[in-house]
Structure 1
Amino acid sequence: MNKPLAGKTILVGVTGGIAAYKAATLCSRLVGLGASVRVMMTEGATKFITPLTLQTLTRHPVATDVFDERDAAIVQHIDWADSADLAVVAPATANMLSKLANGLADDMLSTTLLATTAPLLIAPAMNVHMWEHPAVIDNVNKLASRGVVFVEPGTGQLACGYVGKGRLAEPDEIVDAIVAKLIGSKPLSGQRVLVTAGGTVERIDPVRYITNDSSGKMGFAIAEVARDRGAEVTLVCGRTEAAPPNGVNVVHTDSALRMRDEVMRRLDGTDIVIKAAAVADYRPASRADQKIKKSSDSLTLELVRNPDILQEVGEWREARGSGPFIVGFAAETADVEKHALDKLARKKCDLIVANNVSEAGAGFGTETNIVSVYGRGDFFEHLPQMTKRAVAERLLDIVKDARKGLANR
């Protein structure tokens, strides 16, 4: 029998939700794949499933109390933290997400997870309104920015009676994510990905400029996911609100002209270009060397058109007859589909990711997004409101499938 997880030690944390019963199936699957499974349970989890059940399935004692030290030669939570190849929390309640995001350690599970340096995979489960609460979204994004992998909850009938997103992912889905994290191939290994993010700054004088509300968060999420999938990522960013992700080559720019130069000189040898930046369409015709002083009741500012970086990338590829796979973004406020399809054709892209930035949960600076992806051959997929990390994950899945389709033609 194939044992792909043989030699791997996996910590499984179980928290106090009705979905805790699924931990039995999860542990059984992992043991069957050869893993050594150590289970930690919160007090609440023991109300839904007994430690004895999980002990029997894993053939190891289950830890529930940080003060219950059974072996004087070790400190259990440190020993388990050090031995882990991967830590998994399934199900993870909103309370546990908050603890992990904010570094709280007040029980066996949270203490061990704070001490481990192993990768962390989380499968949340909770009421749909809890999952959509801004505080929970903030905690998820904070953890994702640190490299935590999430197995998103499913949509369906919840124990509370609601129908919606919040149901724990099925054990087999969680197992697949664990296998992929521990031994799975990196689908973008050896690939060079260029991502742009943030807004450009077009100077009027030394203290004033034209810009937009882009935070860079969507581009950062894409760069993180591409990095996690093994790509060599170059992130060309303008004005942003947050720090760029670790593990990528960051190129800071300000104006559209500088961003254009940084992008165009890196195209040769790049496999995928994802233009998530919000580039200003216009810039002042001239920039004052000194602060412009008030001298009248009005001021006329002449603007000239900036280069269209996305279109230039498409034309560069067309002229060569080959080049990177191109993904553009379209931030709209009306007629989203019409503008997206026009942009897809006119700018010679492979995909366009469009959103209505006036829609709640999809605008600049938010932690979530709501997008529609348009592609060649009438491809269309709508992604409902989800974290920007989740949008990035699905977008790169779409890119993978689209590139495979092109290769098979």
Structure 2
Amino acid sequence: MDILITAGGTSEKIDNVRSITNHSTGRLGKIIGEAFLAQGHHVTYVTTAQAVRPNEQQALTLLEIETTKDLESTLIRLFEEKNYDAIIHSMAVSDFTTETAFSEEQFIQQLAEKLMIDSSTSMSDLEQTLKTVMNEVGQTSQNQKKIPSNTDRLLLFLKKNPKIIAMLREKQPQAIIVGFKLLVAVSEEELITVGQGILEKNHCDFVLANDLTKITQDQHDGLLIAADGNLQKAHTKAEIAQLIRKNIEEKWRNNR
């Protein structure tokens, strides 16, 4: 089988020396990749510089990305080159990317210039002016290679990233798709409900739902939710990896 795995966590640049990222280490993705490699499958592994990854070997293709935009363009290129038997999207993708950044002084100055209007302005007009200003400020290019640190506050404007998982079924209709959803301190019922919502919305075959409070160095509780409603539990990263591998292999054989 040709397997595509995304793992690790994307970073979004603030300037040339700073970025916003998450705490994903890629450990689970690494173990999943190794589980498929051990069975003789070819794995294309898309990851980030800070994440762990499987050891280099003949059946492994390693690709490194940084931002969500990098990930999107890399996947589109890969999808144009090949049809994958399965896609395991375990990467922690940043929900937002930096649009621009301002020091407190710069923002106040630009806002004040725009708001020097007659005091009789109605509330609705003022709200519209504020929205216009925010839009203009957000579209201001951040050209500084390193933003000066001589300000008490740094204002970051963030804009929503595209949902990578939303394009997988459209681009690879034949693939078995596994999505991931991480929540924090929720009941199992909520974990299942949210996982099923991700599965249905993005037309996945499986979703691995997990709770951050139940992940430690030795423990990783995961719930694999299938499109047919079947639920399977695992309690370590190795168990999750084998659970995903076995379900994908079984579904792939049945689809042939």
TM-score relative to the length of structure 2: 0.75
**8 Å Cα contact 1:201-1:239 kept in structure 2:** no
Q: Which amino acid aligns with 2:225?
A: Y
Query: In the alignment, which of 136, 139, 149 is matched to residue 294 of structure 1?
Result: 149
1:315 touches 1:348 (CA, 8 Å); kept in 2? no
Name structure 1 gaps, 5 residues minimum.
1-190
Answer yes or no: is the 8 Å Cα contact 2:47–2:91 preserved in 1.
yes
Indicate whether 1:402 and 2:251 are aligned: yes
Q: Which amino acid aligns with 1:396?
A: R
| Mapped contact 2:191–2:209 kept (Cα < 8 A) | yes
* Equivalent residues in 2 for 1:28-43, closer than 5 Å: none
Distance 2:53 2:196 in 1: 33
Q: Does 1:234 align with 2:44?
A: yes
After superposition, give the CA deviation of every residue in 1:29-73 in whole Å (9 maximum; x if it has no partner): xxxxxxxxxxxxxxxxxxxxxxxxxxxxxxxxxxxxxxxxxxxxx
Task: After TM superposition, list the pairs within 5 Å mapping 1:2-401 onto structure 2.
Answer: 191-247=1-57, 248-267=60-79, 268-286=82-100, 287-317=142-172, 322-333=173-184, 334=186, 335-361=190-216, 366=217, 368-383=219-234, 385-386=235-236, 388-401=237-250
Please list the CA deviations of residues 319-357 of structure 1 after superposition, one character each: whole Å capped at 9, or x if unmatched: xxx321111111111332222111001111110001001
CA distance in 1, matches of 2:67, 2:49: 9
8 Å contact from structure 1 (residues 199, 239) kept in 2? no
Which blocks of at least 5 consecutive residues in structure 2 are unaligned? Answer: 101-141
Distance of aligned partners of 1:213 and 1:297 in 2 relative to their CA distance in 1, 3 Å threshold: same
2:61 is aligned with what amino acid? N
Q: How far apart, CA to CA, are the structure 2 residues paired with 1:240 and 1:336? A: 28
State the match for 1:36 in structure 2: none
Report 1 or 2 for greater relative contact order, CA contacts < 8 Å, sequence distance ≥ 6: 2
State the 1:402 CA deviation: 3.0
Q: Which of these two proteins has the greater Rg computed from alpha carbons? A: 1
Q: Would you say the 8 A contact 1:194–1:233 is kept in 2?
A: yes
How large is the Cα RMSD of the aligned pairs?
Answer: 1.8
- Give distance in 1, aligned partners of 2:245 and 2:54: 19
8 A contact 1:223–1:233 mirrored in 2? yes
Percent identity over paired residues: 25
CA, structure 1 residues 263+368, in 2 after alignment: closer, same or farther (shift >3 Å)? farther
After TM superposition, the runs of 4+ consecutive aligned structure 1 residues lying more than 4 A away are none
Superposed CA offset, 1:132-188 (max 9, x none): xxxxxxxxxxxxxxxxxxxxxxxxxxxxxxxxxxxxxxxxxxxxxxxxxxxxxxxxx
The separation in 2 between residues aligned to 1:343 and 1:222, in whole angstroms, is 21
The one-letter code sitting in structure 2 at the alignment partner of 1:382 is K
SS in 1 for 2:13: strand
Alpha-carbon separation, structure 1, partners of 2:218 and 2:54: 15
Q: Is the 8 A contact 1:340 1:352 kept in 2?
A: yes
Match for 1:342: what amino acid? G
The Cα of 1:195 is off from its aligned counterpart by 0.4
